[in-house]
């Protein structure tokens, strides 16, 4: 059983060489046929010319009887005979090849003496002139002529095959070059493959492969960053948990044991919250690396849902300001990611707002100074805000403002920034003109 051709080069060579061979054989066959037909035409023309030359001027001695030539002078390709109308042979060029006296004017095929003749007969001056040729002689001469025509074609076919083989190898050289580049790489080498001097058919493949390498590099970088962050940030909570367990063991009375249990419970909650935020941050960065497509969604409806959940959990005073015309503010985005962004901004605002303070969520179309196909989402509070010089650093992971009593992990704004980057934008931090605290805004592309 033949193995299927899996190599592109072998398959291309195999089919091209088969096509060349089939074409050469077909061309040779057609050349043989054309040459034989041309030879027949030429021989028939020569027979007509011989007959016409005899018709123009017959020798005077023909009326005296048969004038055969000596045997040593009878080696002709053509046989000439002249008959009278009553069937009397008065001339023949070869006595050993006498043809029947009955003749059909024009061309005919005649069997005589165990062979076949091609005969041309013409009537003139009461005589019938016959010019004949042995078909075996004609076939031999036609075959020689056709062979001389077909042999160069058959000789050139192998040369053409070699030339095609070299051209296929040269054309596929870029594929081999790319393969060598990839084979020489180490497992952690995710740099782009050179796209220069590549054919049009190979360049899109290498371009998409480089895009895959870029996404893999970003995913590996995200993973390494997550592992480093988790190892760095979990060290302190775990150490604190261990100290609290030791304090629980040393507790001498029930009240001390109860306080140690409360501290241990709070430490576990903080560690759990930290792990959840690390996982959320890693998930959003992975989505950014994957380049998942966005979908249209109603941003104002999403904001009402997230605010309702926050109010039910904390009982805080949170307001939602949506477009006044009642039409939904539709944007292109990722629903779950935007839900995480808004939830983290709300938790951050509620954490820093004073008791009895206020937090507002606004969804507004972009103004004339901005892109008309955009929608603003903002969260502002009545807390202390962030000094202008610290706003840039506040978006970094694990950064906490100096002097803040909060026990957070410093990941809320970093997670929101990662979600904004997933949507091709970024967070803007400034002072709330209405509440005096921090205002965080993000501009999202509007849906058609």
Q: Per residue in 87-111, pLDDT tens? A: 777 877 765 556 766 667 888 888 7
Paired strand residues for 377: 363, 442
Residue 179 confidence class, pLDDT cut points 50, 70, 90: confident
Can you list the pairs that 184-193 forms with residues at least 24 positions away whose Cβ atoms lie under 8 Å? 190/214, 190/216, 190/217, 190/220
Q: Compute φ and ψ for 397, nearest 5 degrees.
A: -70, 140
Q: What's residue 367's pLDDT?
A: 65
Q: What's residue 74's pLDDT?
A: 45
* Contact residues for 324 (Cβ-Cβ < 8 A; gap 6+): none
Q: Name the pTM for this structure.
A: 0.48
Same domain for 261 and 243? yes
CB 320 within 8 A of CB 304: yes
Residue 285 confidence class, pLDDT cut points 50, 70, 90: low
Same domain for 135 and 196? no
Q: What is the CATH number of the domain that holds 414?
A: 3.30.565.10
Same domain for 327 and 409? yes
| Domain encompassing residue 63 | 8-163
Cβ atoms < 10 Å from Cβ of 350: 20
Q: Give CA–CA dist 323/329, Å, rounded.
A: 7
Q: Give CA–CA dist 428/378, Å, rounded.
A: 9
More confident residue, 318 or 74: 318
Same domain for 301 and 400? yes
Q: What is the mean pLDDT of residues 353-365?
A: 85
Same domain for 317 and 392? yes
Same domain for 417 and 299? yes
* Total domains, the chain: 3
Q: What is the CATH number of the domain that holds 148?
A: 3.30.450
Last residue of a domain, one of 266, 292, 318: 292
Residue 441 confidence class, pLDDT cut points 50, 70, 90: very high
Whether 439 is in a domain gets the answer yes
Paired strand residues for 318: 359
Last residue of a domain, one of 240, 267, 292: 292
Mean pLDDT, the chain, rounded, equals 76
Whether 180 is in a domain gets the answer no
Q: What's residue 343's pLDDT?
A: 85
Whether 2 is in a domain gets the answer no
CB 374 within 8 A of CB 435: no
Does the structure show a pLDDT above 50 at 63? no
Whether 45 is in a domain gets the answer yes
Q: Give CA–CA dist 352/338, Å, rounded.
A: 21
Does the structure show a pLDDT above 50 at 173? yes
Same domain for 275 and 302? no
Whether 76 is in a domain gets the answer yes
Q: What is the mean pLDDT of residues 351-363?
A: 85
Q: Give CA–CA dist 364/154, Å, rounded.
A: 81
């Amino acid at each position: 059983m033949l193995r299927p051709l899996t190599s592109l080069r072998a398959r291309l060579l195999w089919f091209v060489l088969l096509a060349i061979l089939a074409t050469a054989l077909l061309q040779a066959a057609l050349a043989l046929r054309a040459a034989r037909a041309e030879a027949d035409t030429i021989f028939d023309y020569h027979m007509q010319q011989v007959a016409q030359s005899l018709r123009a001027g017959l020798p005077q001695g023909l009326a005296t009887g048969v004038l055969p030539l000596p045997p040593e002078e009878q080696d002709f390709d053509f046989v000439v005979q002249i008959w009278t109308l009553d069937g009397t042979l008065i001339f023949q060029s070869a006595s050993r090849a006498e043809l029947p006296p009955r003749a059909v004017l024009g061309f005919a095929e005649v069997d005589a003496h165990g062979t076949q003749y091609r005969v041309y007969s013409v009537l003139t001056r009461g005589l019938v002139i016959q010019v004949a040729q042995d078909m075996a002689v004609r076939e031999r001469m036609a075959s020689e002529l056709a062979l001389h025509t077909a042999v160069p074609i058959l000789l050139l076919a192998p040369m053409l095959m070699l030339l095609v083989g070299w051209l296929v190898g040269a054309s596929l050289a870029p594929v081999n070059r790319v393969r060598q580049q990839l084979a020489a790489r180490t497992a952690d080498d995710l740099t782009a493959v050179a796209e220069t001097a590549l054919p049009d058919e190979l360049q899109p493949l290498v371009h998409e492969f480089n895009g895959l390498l870029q996404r893999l590099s970003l995913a590996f970088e995200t993973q390494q960053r997550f592992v480093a962050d988790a190892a760095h940030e979990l060290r302190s909570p775990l150490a604190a948990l261990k100290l609290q367990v030791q304090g629980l063991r040393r507790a001498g009375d029930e009240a001390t044991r109860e306080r140690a249990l409360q501290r241990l419970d709070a430490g576990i909650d903080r560690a759990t919250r930290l792990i959840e935020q690390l996982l959320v941050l890693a998930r959003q960065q992975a989505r950014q690396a994957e380049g998942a497509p966005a979908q249209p969604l109603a941003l104002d409806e999403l904001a009402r849902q997230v605010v309702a959940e926050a109010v039910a959990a904390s009982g805080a005073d949170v307001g939602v300001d949506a477009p006044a015309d009642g039409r939904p503010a539709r944007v292109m985005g990722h629903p779950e990611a935007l839900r995480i962004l808004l939830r983290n901004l709300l938790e951050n605002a509620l954490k820093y707002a004073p008791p009895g303070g206020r937090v507002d969520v606004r969804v507004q179309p972009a103004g004339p100074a901005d892109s008309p196909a955009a929608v603003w989402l903002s969260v502002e509070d009545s807390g202390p805000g962030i000094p202008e010089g610290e706003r840039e650093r506040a978006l970094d992971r694990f950064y906490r403002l100096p002097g803040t009593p909060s026990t957070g992990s410093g990941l809320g704004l970093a997670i929101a920034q990662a979600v904004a980057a997933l949507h091709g934008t970024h967070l803007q931090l400034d002072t709330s003109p209405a509440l005096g605290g921090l205002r965080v805004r993000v501009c999202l592309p509007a849906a058609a």
